[in-house]
Amino acid sequence: MSGTIRARVKGGLLEPLEPLEVAEGEEVTLTITLTPSKSRTDWLSRTAGGWVGLVDGEKLKRDIYESRSLITRPEPRL
């Protein structure tokens, strides 16, 4: 048998996610290729620095601060 199967590392051991057609005690050669994770932080690392040169961060912070300091609610009538 030769081919590719998927496996998961669990407790330091490879746990096959598919049935193996290998006899007990038979010796095999493994080639490990990591499958990219679809974690929440993956998008963050791929897009880090994407806005460099497009947005003035300091001006953005000033604009946000100024917009939050404006009084936008009408004064309540007592």
Instruction: End-to-end CA distance of the chain: give it in Å, rounded.
Output: 84
Chain segment 4-23, per-residue pLDDT in tens: 888 999 999 999 999 988 89
**Cβ-count burial 52-67 (b if 16+ within 10 Å, e if not):** eeeeeeeeeeeeeeee
Chain segment 17-58, per-residue pLDDT in tens: 999 888 999 998 988 888 776 666 667 777 777 777 888 889
